[in-house]
Amino acid sequence: MPPDTSSSNELIYGLDDRPAPAASVLAALQHVLAAFVGIITPPLIIGSALGLTAHLPYLISMALMVSGVGTFIQARRPFGIGAGMICLQGTSFAFLGAVLSAGFIVKQRGGSPEDILAMIFGVCFFGALVQIVLSRFIGQLRRVITPLVTGIVITLIGVSLIKVGITDLGGGFNAPDFGAPGNLALGAFVLVVIILLNRSNTPWVRLSAIIIGLLVGSIAAWFSGKLVPQPLPDLPLLSVPIPFRFGFSFDWTAFLPVALIYLISTIETVGDLTANCMLSRQPISGPSYIKRLKGGVLGDGVSCMLAATFSAFPNTTFAQNNGVIQLTGVASRYVGLYIGAILFLLGLVPLIGAVLQQIPKPVLGGATLVMFGSVAAAGVRILAQSPLDRRNMLIIATSFGVGLGVAAQPNLLHLMPKLVQNLFDSAITSGGITALVMCLLLPEPKDVVAVEQGLENEAV
């Protein structure tokens, strides 16, 4: 089918267009490369902190596999499960604090690595039910999860991701040469290449901008000595998924923080889906929008349940892949099917992931920085859908102040109880909860309430 140019000259392929296989694979690879590090990093962090090194290869493989299956479901939308868009599922950073807390509870009791994983996946399995139940009430929750709240949350997500991108550009966390001129030059070179290619009027050049940028950057890194190919680690040729491989256990103390993060994750997903709808030229109000939100949040919950079943940490709809849609102009949901298949294959053959993992951090940082900035920009666009009156400006200012303040000073809550630390130690959770509470406590002007009630009646 020819590219869709009727809705907007910014889209090469619309939501229901079917790109040729070569174009689909190329677009899918850019999504995979944008999300790959984000998918495997949480297992690396959790495994290192909880002493799970022996199980890390399997955990990483399962993270990639489940991400692939979840992404396929979101795009294919079987039985109404999924948003029917490119909603790449990946391991969520929002759960890190709660998951680590659950693991340390077992570790302090003298539990083995297998006991730790059994507890984590047990509480995450039941936590996924929270999101599945919430998905059925998205229409009613829209009175609370308004464009104002989702705009604030998605902007905070983008700002948080920007920190990851700029850290990679400098050389990566705890890199001995962090901020070295060579790292900065390499990252800036990749960034400039992607920007220039993306401004091209030739669709294929624009479509391949990220991959070309990463390839050219890797070649430059090799010539400059920043990329030194390492021997591949001793990994099994194939990873076979086994349900509840480490067992299954449950603890209310560990469950409650995880359950609340699932609520926050639902808000994130609503924000990501709203941004995705805007980029895909789909409505962001009315019955079709509510139906898409319900399916997308349900898809997230099912993906998280599959993750807990097959030894992967909780998934969420990755916000950075909205940036890929915006940069490439490819919104076709059929590309999501290719993304799911590629991720599944990466998990099946862990050595492929080991090769991609050797891309230098500054190269990845230069490529992801502009995409993460696009996420924050999408959040600002969502905020622009709300009237910026005194009430809304106060909510935005307070939410950003709390969220970004906690992110800027991570030790702020170190004297508070562990539960409070786990719930409010990130910009997304603290800023998102602040926005929710203020929207509930501060009354809206009567004319705004009347408009929202009219939209709600249309959705029903």
SS3 per residue for 294-358 = HHHHHHHHHHHHHHHHCCCCCEEECCHHHHHHHHHCECCHHHHHHHHHHHHHHHHCHHHHHHHCC
Q: What is the Cα–Cα distance from 290 to 300, expressed in whole angstroms?
A: 15
The band of 131, judged by pLDDT with boundaries at 50, 70 and 90, is very high
Residue 240 has pLDDT above 60, yes or no: yes
Identify the weakest region by mean pLDDT among 28-37, 422-431, 445-454.
Answer: 445-454
Q: What is the Cα–Cα distance from 343 to 347, expressed in whole angstroms?
A: 6
Strand partners, 13: 330
Joined together, the tokens standing for residue 5 give 């140019």
Closest-CA residue to 256 (of 418, 134, 63)? 418
pLDDT above 90 coverage of the chain, percent: 24
Strands (E), 128-264: none
Q: What is the pLDDT of residues 55-99, one digit of tens each?
A: 888 888 899 999 999 999 999 999 889 999 999 999 887 787 778
Q: What is the Cα–Cα distance from 25 to 181, expressed in whole angstroms?
A: 35
Q: What is the Cα–Cα distance from 302 to 10, expressed in whole angstroms?
A: 33
CB atoms within 10 A of CB 208: 20
Q: How far is Cα of residue 138 from the mean position of the Cα atoms in its chain?
A: 20
Q: What is the pLDDT of residues 317-342, one digit of tens each?
A: 987 778 788 877 888 999 999 999 99
pLDDT above 70 coverage of the chain, percent: 91
Give me the pLDDT at residue 306, please. Answer: 95
Q: What is the DSSP letter of 62?
A: H
Give me the pLDDT at residue 123, please. Answer: 94
Q: Are 431 and 416 in contact (CB under 8 A)?
A: no
Give me the pLDDT at residue 238, please. Answer: 82
Dihedral (CA of 236, 237, 242, 248) sign: positive
Averaged over 8-16, what is the pLDDT? 74
Q: Are 362 and 183 in contact (CB under 8 A)?
A: yes
Under 8 Å CB-to-CB from 388, ≥6 apart: which residues? 396
CB atoms within 10 A of CB 7: 13
Question: What is the SS3 assignment for 135?
Answer: helix
